[in-house]
Structure 1
Amino acid sequence: MPVFKRWKDYKDPDGHVRDGIFKNFVGKVGNKFQMDVDVVPVRKACTEMLKCATRQQRCRLKKEYFDPHPLHLVTRTSPVPSMTDEQWNELVESWKDPKKMGICETNKNNQAQLKFHQTTGSRSYPVHCDNLGDKYKDKEPNALDLFKECHYSKKKKTTLVLSKL
């Protein structure tokens, strides 16, 4: 599937996702799930999944083929077989835009200043606290226990500085 520089490029003049792109994506997703793609809620859900997938693919391409290289060494040929060289060059030109590069740097700086990453995944804080279940069956968890639950990851080996708490 091609990776365009913005979501508008995936749509036809009527504002719907182009039929070929949508059918290609639904065909891949449909192999994993049984669904009726003619129903409006399913089409909306598939469109949102497509939107997220293409955004993530753009981020991965930028991280792998654009960010680590100086601007003059970025490849001019598409590293992905599903994209033409023209589509790739258009995407690279959009990444080279000074305004976009400034926004990217600001976002990177803001992300670097984040001290405590939450580790609850896509669940909200109240839902995560409700799902703790048996872990605190004898006593009610205090604020420190809940903070540790939401900001410490055993998988990523994150550590906390809890000297002031």
Structure 2
Amino acid sequence: MPPGRVMASTPGQKKRILEPDEPALDRVTRQKAKMATTTDHQESLLRMDSETSVQMGDELPHMDEDAMTTKTRLRKGKGLERITKSVGRKVPIQIAEGMKRPEKPLQAAKLASECGLVTRSHPPVLPHFKLYKNNASLLENYIGKVDANFEMNTDSETIKTACKDILQKHSKNRRHQIKKKYFDTIAANTVSIKSPVPDLTDGEWQALVEMWSTPRHKGTCVSNKMNREKVVYNQRTGSRHYTSHIFATK
């Protein structure tokens, strides 16, 4: 038998003789698999930030791999924080006069996401949007919290109009989700007096129930449902705003 090496075998298997020029198989341990997974994850984060920087038109500064390690945070919106850290400054928000959304898809997506996070976390859930507009301090606080994560001119009427429009849509969607889950599927005589939603006060819940129970609101819901069934050309751009969709398809 030619000289060779004997490879250690696992219990229940025969020994295998390797040829002199045949490399030995490297064992994949748990530690090696964990290190490989961590390296691939860091490379994907760096590649994602590089693509994001290209969309914003900026050069991505050099960063250590330790800076890209994800950390546990109480706040959501990690994508925006990672972009801000990689670029070295806050994401700028530029909205043309007369428009309600930024043209660049990245700016529009991050602005909508951040406004949604602020809407779900801070402002109360009111029955009508006119109650938001009549409360100047509430709107100022809302825009200020959004501005904390972006580079934008909060004194511009265009920026204020865009933030108000996003607040109107998010508050309407949130009322719809609460109504669909906690009101529509429950009999009228068994509706809870106290708020079933953790972040909704009893007063806000009772105001919503009172509005949903009026005949006028019920008639509006029926007419809106009939009008939606008449739509021939539905939206095909997903969650992307039409302005950003046109900019991306140029």
The aligned runs of 1:4-153 (5 Å cut-off) are 4-12=126-134, 17-19=135-137, 21-112=138-229, 117-121=234-238, 122-123=241-242, 131=249
Matches of 1:114 and 1:39 in 2, distance apart? 35
Aligned to 1:150: none
Q: CA deviation at 1:110?
A: 4.2
Q: CA RMSD in A?
A: 2.9
Matches of 2:242 and 2:157 in 1, distance apart? 26
Unaligned runs of 5+ in 2: 1-122
Aligned partner letter, 1:120: T
Matches of 1:11 and 1:116 in 2, distance apart? 32
Aligned partner letter, 1:6: H
Q: CA deviation at 1:81?
A: 4.4
Query: Compared with structure 1, are the counterparts of its residues 82 and 24 closer, same or farther at alpha carbon in structure 2 (3 Å cutoff)?
Result: farther
Count, aligned residues:
124
% identical equivalent positions: 34
Q: CA deviation at 1:111?
A: 3.4
Unaligned runs of 5+ in 1: 134-165
Point out 4+ residue stretches in structure 1 off by more than 6 angstroms: none
Matches of 1:2 and 1:80 in 2, distance apart? 12
TM-score, length basis structure 1: 0.60
Q: CA deviation at 1:91?
A: 1.0
SS at the partner of 2:151?
A: coil
SS at the partner of 2:236?
A: coil
